[in-house]
Structure 1
Amino acid sequence: MSHADESAFDRYRADVERPLARLFREYGTSRTRWLVAGLLANLVAQAASLLPPVVLGEAIDALFGETTTAYTLPFVPQSWIPATAEGQFWFSVALIAGSFVVTGVFTWVYGVVANQFAHDVMHAVRTDSFEKLLRLDMTFFDDKQTGEVMSILNNDAGNLELFLDNALMNSLRLVIMVGGIAFVLFSLNWQLALVTLVAIPAIVVFTLWFMRVVAPRYRARQSATAGFNTRIENGISGVELVKTTGSEGYERERVRDASRGVFETTMSVLRLSYFYRPGMELLAGLSFAATFLVGGYWLFTGTAPGPLTGTLEVGTFVTFIFMTQRFVAPLAEVSNIVDQVQNARASAERVFGLSDIPVSIEDDGDAVELRDPEGVVAYEDVSFAYRDVFGETASDTVLEDVSFDAEPGETVAVVGETGAGKSTLLKLLLRLYEPTAGTVRLDGHDVRDLTLGSLRDAVGYVSQDTHLFDGTIAENVRYGRFDASDEAVRRAAKAAEAHGFITELADGYETRVGERGVKLSGGQRQRIALARAVLSDPPVLVLDEATSAVDTETERAIQRSLDRLSADRTTLVVAHRLSTVVDADEILVLDGGAVVERGSHEELVSRGGAYADLWNAQTGAEASVEAGDD
């Protein structure tokens, strides 16, 4: 796979080594007490569950057989066993009943603490993964796979929880059961025990083969699931475009194709699993059949078959039958354990693949806090080209040798054709991206030498792509300044010309805006975003076409407010409508990423260059519209 076709998940997931061991190392160590408690409780429960068949077999031979034998139990001192047959009977009843009680109690303890461990790890994986997402560079989100991200936070974390809760503990139970049963059977009759356990080597080889073959199929299935989630998310988020373009059929087919991918990769796993599971059950069943055949013949004829020697008691044979039945069930569950382990391994690879994606834009070890910022902005020979998450250049040069200064109280506007690099230029100030060359300074500091928190606190940013969270209008205005008073929220809304429409809503500032603010118009959303920036009261205000979605009258009202707001702060504006920047102290005209003109509105119009062409095109279009309206 070439880098062009390779996502960040693919690259870093492929480099994850021993993902399940890493899961325990990074998340299990601090939760050892819960893991150990669960393991011990499981050990006691499974050991206690092996006692009834042993007691039953001994009671049959010692108390109910035609020829009685001495009543003895492994690891139980003879002095504890009653001397009379009646006493031995009630002693057996007490042991069997007590073993069931112990099994039940410790199974409950195991269930509680094992789930505490598993769900605590799942919680930590989810929160850590989301925290890592928030730290990732914008280059990651420029090519984001939302469904992939959601799959990690939900499906993969859930797979890890299932592994830790079920597969891990069931593996221990299998080891205890097989080991305990083998120990008991060998202590009773080592020759018949060899017959019972003859299938174990074949089971081990069969399991290792299955794990090797099925692993890539699980990875393919999870990748297909993530792709399906992305397709669904894209279809839902773009449902308005789908409907207005009549593209329901096209989207349906795209989802159908993605779903087919999930179906085919899932069936690839299931076809192999349903070959493995009956195979395991067959091998375990053969162990039981061999035990019944050899032991039954031994008792029926009274002669040891083949190379076997000695005698076999009825009680011992009954214990073997019970134990072999207990032996069959855990072995048949190996397929489920392997299924969960492989799922968890693929999920852990994806989780740590996300965790291992490098973050280039973060605080340096010697980063300083920006205190009492004044808002002096300087761009010095700044060039920029987009890079991918691997640090490799992913575009041609977007900006080239851009330089300008902005002082408190000044407004610098950036204009130009679409794709000229206007928005990218201002995003460099917030370190959403890093310049390829040159330096961006705030109050004389290279922004790379400042802590991200203090840098972004000093800059209020309003994007043309306004985002509101599902919540109330007040909560969205207050976002980022969560302790702001209601009065401060209202003052900010008034400054952004939003107070009027807010008070006309049924619930006023407590009106819920819906996901992404869908219950509000584009202009209303932009005014709330402006109020949010105003509330933060930053020394630097960055407006990236912040009035693009409002009507002309509202734009004029907002512009008056912005004029007041920018009187004592540094304002950087990206504008498509040149009428909004005619009063700017300096206007930069970008073309192909380079500044081709700079100056005031009057100066640039008088030169008759690129800006004058843009101005004439816009004013001419506006005049034509007005003439048409007349």
Structure 2
Amino acid sequence: MQDVDWDEDDPFEDQREQVESPMRRLLFEYGRPYWFTVTVGLISSVLARALDLLPALLLAVAIDAIFGEAVFEEQVPLVVLPEAWLPATQEGQFWFVAIAIASSFVLGALFHWLRNWGFNAFSQEIQHDVRTATYDKMQRLDMEFFASKQTGEMMSVLSNDVNQLERFLNEGMNSATRLIVMVVGIGFLLFWLNPQLALISLAPVPLIAVFTYIFVKKIQPKYAAVRSSVGKVNSRLENNLGGIGVIKSSNTEGYESERVDDVSRNYYDTNWEAIWLRIRFFPGLQLISGIGFVLTFAVGGYWVFTGTAPGPFTGTLQTGTFVAFILFTQQLVWPMAQFGQVINMYQRAEASSERIFGLMDETGRIERDEGADDLEVSDGRVEYEHVSFAYEDDYADADREESSAQERTRSRDVSDDERIIDDISFEVDGGETIALVGPTGAGKSTVLKLLLRLYDVNEGAIRVDGQDIREVSLPSLRQSMGYVGQESFLFYGTVEENITYGSFDADREEIVAAAKAAEAHEFIQNLPAGYDTMVGERGVKLSGGQRQRVAIARAVLKDPDILVLDEATSDVDTETEMLIQRSIDDLTEDRTTFAIAHRLSTIKDADQILVLEGGEIVERGTHDQLLENGGLYSHLWGVQAGEIEELPQEFIERAQRRTARTEAGDDDD
């Protein structure tokens, strides 16, 4: 088994490097529709934080004016209330302050609720939109993209990275607003109360700014590495859980535990580097913030205690003002210390948004023309005209930079050694059945995937009733075709849901008819809940043959114009295969059909048989004609019929050379 190099670079590194201003793009592209909720959140946050500052200020007023000798009117900031509204008696002033403090708490609670509603609604809406948009883009990418990325890595983007965005948009923006309001508000009040002492209290702010700048520069690349390592952990876990049956039957639990341990340790080491930097930064930031509190207490306390302005300071400092300074400075310590948390969340979100937008900006090899005409199938005639194909990893760099989408799609020069399919041409009349046979790796499945435009040709063209399949809309092309592959994938759900997948409006009568045609109705009736039986993840509760029959029933129900059968009966026994083949014969009677089969007996009645080897058509004709030719088909037939024991040495040597040349490819036939 080929081991994966888990020390390789971030699999989305190329995409991330192309993304510019990811956070700005996030807010403007996805945040714009939800301006109302974020505006409510921002305004409410400002008002809530401002009201949080009011009790300390009112306490200073009470100490100096009500319990001290200061003039009440001079201590109350006359911004909201006119002086005429202020009570004249000491008792009235006391109750005025008490009611004002109580009102600040009540209104503050209301605005805190609105703040939480606004930011949560904003972040959840964006999280939903980004996740669904990313998934929608991901599923529209070419199959070649999925061949180069592991499922766990893509799950990491859809789950972990999107969640990081939600955390910043909620907690991060909330904390950032609080930080700005508290620092600006407290700074303003401190200067309003005593500009000289305010300089002492706010002295650590420049040092905090420098300290934070250094932290940001060091932490950013570490978070990018953490996001990559999370994807690798997810990939390994998803891979192992999907192959748990192989692991158990191979008795390799210990081996796989070591591999999981390796990727988990890689994540631990990468994450610990970020944590180690973070846990040193936050206490240091809090210590610097605390210096302002200590200086305020020392200078202000000495000023009040002695009644003399220390050093270059002048004037007097009242007890209430000193208490307000202490309270405000203490409130300032936490927001300043939290500044690092905001930067921390921002850096995580930026690293995640780079991966998300890098994926969303991924350009597929298959060009999608949203305005293309729909495919119109009349006879079902299919033509392959000088078709060649190679996987994208084999292209020259110059080919990747072609500016013309049409040139990229229609012509890419590749060497003969790189081609998986090499200059194939054939025609299929409407209603005919054409079979593709040949050794493993000959390119049979790839030929049919090109018809479905799961990949696009490098050279040549494929036409259906004279229409180039690259010039029609993809949905109409794939809607006209029914595909049953080698691996009959079933979704988690019921048998009925899997049969109706793609034909969602079918009624029970049509479903049963399709199941009967696929020889599936009898075994479905014997399931615990019949058609409502849950099949489990990937259909694990059904046998391979049962899954194939459900997949065939799905294709039957779709009633396509063109049917593609890629080893559609490979997992059933001979008796069941004969029954299914009888149904398939009925199904293919009036429609164009492509069939791949290793069991040559299932395709001997095809109108035309193409024999592929090394990506080329080496023989073509009917079953009887190919037997008379005495070529590769004749030898394959003889081996399966038991007439000869093995293929001639020349065929074996050619197969070995072909395997050596294409072992890194993606062809699964």
| TM-score > 0.5 by shorter chain | yes
* Secondary structure of residue in 2 paired with 1:568: coil
> Is 1:337 equivalent to 2:361 in the alignment?
no
* Pick aligned residue for 2:138 from 133, 138, 157: 133
The AA in structure 2 aligned to 1:333 is Q
1:426: which partner in 2? 448
Aligned residues of 2:448 and 2:564 also touching (Cα < 8 A): yes
2:465: which partner in 1? 443
Displacement of 1:275: 0.8
1:235: which partner in 2? 240
Q: Distance in 2 between matches of 1:340 and 1:301?
A: 46
1:258: which partner in 2? 263
* Secondary structure of residue in 1 paired with 2:462: strand
The AA in structure 1 aligned to 2:48 is A
Could you report, residue by residue, the CA deviation over 1:589-630 in whole angstroms, capped at 9, with x for unpaired residues? Answer: 001101000000000011101111111111118999xxxxxx
Aligned residues of 1:399 and 1:421 also touching (Cα < 8 A): yes
* Secondary structure of residue in 2 paired with 1:259: helix
Instruction: Note closer, same or farther for the CA distance 1:84–1:49 as it changes in structure 2 (3 Å cut).
Output: same
1:627: which partner in 2? none
Could you report, residue by residue, the CA deviation over 1:170-207 in whole angstroms, capped at 9, with x for unpaired residues? Answer: 10110000000000010111000000000000000101
Aligned residues of 2:619 and 2:626 also touching (Cα < 8 A): yes
> Is 1:186 equivalent to 2:186 in the alignment?
no
* Secondary structure of residue in 2 paired with 1:139: helix
Q: Distance in 2 between matches of 1:148 and 1:596?
A: 41
Could you report, residue by residue, the CA deviation over 1:228-276 in whole angstroms, capped at 9, with x for unpaired residues? Answer: 0100000100011111111111110110000001111111011101111
Aligned residues of 1:412 and 1:572 also touching (Cα < 8 A): yes
Displacement of 1:7: 6.7
1:16: which partner in 2? 19
1:143: which partner in 2? 148
Query: Which TM-score applies when normalising by structure 1?
Result: 0.96
The AA in structure 1 aligned to 2:150 is Q
* Pick aligned residue for 1:33 from 25, 36, 59: 36
Q: Distance in 1 between matches of 2:69 and 2:549?
A: 96
* Pick aligned residue for 1:412 from 434, 444, 452: 434
Displacement of 1:408: 2.1
> Is 1:548 equivalent to 2:564 in the alignment?
no
Instruction: Note closer, same or farther for the CA distance 1:69–1:482 as it changes in structure 2 (3 Å cut).
Output: closer
Aligned residues of 1:377 and 1:406 also touching (Cα < 8 A): yes
Q: Distance in 1 between matches of 2:295 and 2:189?
A: 18
- The count of aligned residue pairs is 622
Bigger Cα displacement from structure 2, 474-483 vs 373-382: 373-382
Could you report, residue by residue, the CA deviation over 1:318-339 in whole angstroms, capped at 9, with x for unpaired residues? Answer: 1101111111111121222122
1:271: which partner in 2? 276
1:383-422 pair list within 5 angstroms: 383-388=388-393, 396-422=418-444
Instruction: Note closer, same or farther for the CA distance 1:557–1:623 as it changes in structure 2 (3 Å cut).
Output: farther
Report the RMSD for the aligned CA atoms in angstroms: 1.9
Q: Distance in 2 between matches of 1:407 and 1:505?
A: 41
Aligned residues of 1:363 and 1:450 also touching (Cα < 8 A): no
Q: Distance in 1 between matches of 2:204 and 2:43?
A: 29
Aligned residues of 1:8 and 1:357 also touching (Cα < 8 A): no
Q: Distance in 1 between matches of 2:341 and 2:21?
A: 21
Aligned residues of 1:408 and 1:539 also touching (Cα < 8 A): no
Displacement of 1:67: 6.0
1:313: which partner in 2? 318
2:45: which partner in 1? 42
Instruction: Note closer, same or farther for the CA distance 1:621–1:125 as it changes in structure 2 (3 Å cut).
Output: farther
* Pick aligned residue for 1:600 from 612, 622, 636: 622
> Is 1:537 equivalent to 2:559 in the alignment?
yes
Q: Distance in 2 between matches of 1:53 and 1:523?
A: 76
Displacement of 1:359: 2.2
Displacement of 1:66: 5.1
1:160: which partner in 2? 165
Q: Distance in 2 between matches of 1:6 and 1:315?
A: 59
Aligned residues of 1:59 and 1:71 also touching (Cα < 8 A): no
* Secondary structure of residue in 1 paired with 2:31: helix
The AA in structure 2 aligned to 1:38 is G
Displacement of 1:33: 0.6
* Secondary structure of residue in 2 paired with 1:378: strand
Displacement of 1:72: 3.2
Q: Distance in 2 between matches of 1:295 and 1:584?
A: 99
Instruction: Return 5+ residue gaps in structure 1 as ranges.
Output: 625-630
1:120: which partner in 2? 125
* Pick aligned residue for 1:60 from 53, 59, 63: 63
* Secondary structure of residue in 1 paired with 2:594: strand
Q: Distance in 1 between matches of 2:73 and 2:46?
A: 30
Q: Distance in 2 between matches of 1:337 and 1:543?
A: 56
Could you report, residue by residue, the CA deviation over 1:508-557 in whole angstroms, capped at 9, with x for unpaired residues? Answer: 11111110000011111011101100111111100001111111111111
1:293: which partner in 2? 298
Q: Distance in 1 between matches of 2:541 and 2:358?
A: 37
Displacement of 1:144: 2.7
1:459: which partner in 2? 481
Q: Distance in 2 between matches of 1:429 and 1:15?
A: 32
Aligned residues of 2:370 and 2:473 also touching (Cα < 8 A): no
1:512: which partner in 2? 534
* Pick aligned residue for 1:196 from 176, 189, 201: 201
Query: Which TM-score applies when normalising by structure 2?
Result: 0.90
Could you report, residue by residue, the CA deviation over 1:23-48 in whole angstroms, capped at 9, with x for unpaired residues? Answer: 10111111111111100000110011
Q: Distance in 2 between matches of 1:482 and 1:16?
A: 39
Q: Distance in 2 between matches of 1:579 and 1:372?
A: 30
